[in-house]
Structure 1
Amino acid sequence: MMEAQIVRMWIQFNVPRIEDGNNFGVGIQEDVLAEVSGIERDALTFLDQFTRYYASRGKLVAKAAKYPHIDDYRECIRDMDEKQAISMRCIIMEIRNHYSVLHDLIEKNLDRIKVPRSNNTMSMY
């Protein structure tokens, strides 16, 4: 998530002032910024999911400790852990996909991100 914030700030600092015309490079910057924002949103969602998991698991462990003779609590904890392991695998793949797309976007458009407008604008007249 920190890397996405650094990339977002770098691109935002490269956005030129608003002028008429020749905004193709700025549009590319905005597309990359939208992808970075999506990564940040998803990262926060993933972090929230981990927090909820540990809170729920803590409650179940407390109940399992309070009622050690009830096997259903221990089984529920095992099931929850297995579900979380599968969920973590999906999250890791999603993060990989996000960063792969971001890398591809930046690599293909690096010149336009660094210098969104060309200096040698040709006059139509």
Structure 2
Amino acid sequence: MPKFGNTLPKMDDVFKSHPKPEVMKDLIAAHRLRAIDILQNVMPAKILEITDLIKQEENPSSPFYKGQIFELSYTKPKLSQPATGDAYQGAEVTSLTDKPVLPVDISALSIADAPEVGGVRMGQHWFEVVKVNENQMKCNEIVFRELEEIHMLAQDLKVWLEMEIPVVEDGNSFGADVQTHLISQLADAYKKSNTMQNGVRAHHGDRLKLATDWAKYPNFEDYAAAIANSDRFDHFLIRSFLRSILQLYAGLLTKFERNWSKVINPKGTHETGGMY
């Protein structure tokens, strides 16, 4: 026998009585203020900021300088083997003519006898190091921050706009269709920001894979060129992302401005409960 017998709970009065009626009112009020700030202040400021970053491609002191790809960090990555003995300090393996270096006090140990130094067990293994591309790290940090910001701004606008959609009914729905289109554009913006973030993250994964293989086969000199080409592509990609971010900001702001009357008054009336 069903728990409620022949009687089922009625749903008619679900929205006639709210235990906390202020929750949705406070939420939409807060997000309206947030939306006003984003559209009036934040987005125009971000457009100026991204435009300035793109202009830095002509500035030799900027990490975004397009000539960075001709600097040593982008043209000649090196596989190094740090050593503990003074005789080996600064030794690097950069070509077939260089003699590989193993610290004597490490290579002479067997795995069984290996002591722990600073929590790391010493033994018969290599200590190949490929230094990070510091300039690319600076670029990545800046663009990562910009991508996180546009993602959150788009999310905040989407939360607000979802609450402004009017009652669904037949006829006179053009304004609501505009709102729905803008919601779709906001969702597309933060999805694109996620895709670009994955592109930025791939920089480290690509170098890790190449450097790991290089450490396994140090006499194969193509790895240095592969890392150099990968870094140069990443620098091009990060500059391209700046333009994509600018496009997202400018496109969203333009769409909101040109369709603003439909956004805030989708039914073409002045009913209480509209945005203004």
TM-score range, shorter chain: 0.7 to 0.9
> Aligned-pair distance for 1:117?
1.4
Provide the residue aligned with 2:256 in structure 1.
106
Can you list the C-alpha shifts for 1:16-49, whole angstroms capped at 9, x where unaligned? Answer: 1212221111111112112112212211211222
The 5-angstrom pairing of residues 67-82 of structure 1 reads 67-82=217-232
- In 2, Cα distance between equivalents of 1:41 and 1:65: 36
Provide the residue aligned with 2:167 in structure 1.
17
Flag structure 1 segments of 5+ consecutive residues without an equivalent: none
Flag structure 2 segments of 5+ consecutive residues without an equivalent: 1-150, 272-276
- In 2, Cα distance between equivalents of 1:73 and 1:56: 12
- In 1, Cα distance between equivalents of 2:221 and 2:240: 29
Secondary structure of the 2:190 match is: helix
AA partner of residue 11 (structure 1)? L
Q: Residues 6, 45 of structure 1: CA spacing in aligned structure 2 closer, same or farther, 3 A cutoff?
A: same
TM-score by length of 2: 0.41
2:234 to 81, 84, 90: 84
> Aligned-pair distance for 1:111?
2.5
AA partner of residue 116 (structure 1)? P
Secondary structure of the 2:200 match is: helix
Is residue 2:205 matched to residue 1:55?
A: yes
2:191 to 41, 47, 54: 41
- In 2, Cα distance between equivalents of 1:35 and 1:120: 26
Can you list the C-alpha shifts for 1:89-120, whole angstroms capped at 9, x where unaligned? Answer: 11221121121111000111222212211336
> Aligned-pair distance for 1:78?
0.9
> Aligned-pair distance for 1:67?
4.2
Secondary structure of the 1:27 match is: helix
- In 2, Cα distance between equivalents of 1:89 and 1:52: 15
Q: Greater Rg, structure 1 or structure 2?
A: 2
CA RMSD of aligned residues (A): 1.9
**Higher relative contact order, chain-length normalized (CA < 8 Å, sep 6+):** 1
Contact 1:8/1:33, CA 8 A, preserved across alignment: yes
**Could you tell me the percent identity over the aligned residues?**
26
- The number of equivalent residue pairs is 121
- In 2, Cα distance between equivalents of 1:22 and 1:4: 27
Moved more, 98-107 or 56-65: 56-65
Provide the residue aligned with 2:179 in structure 1.
29
| Richer in helix (by share) | 1
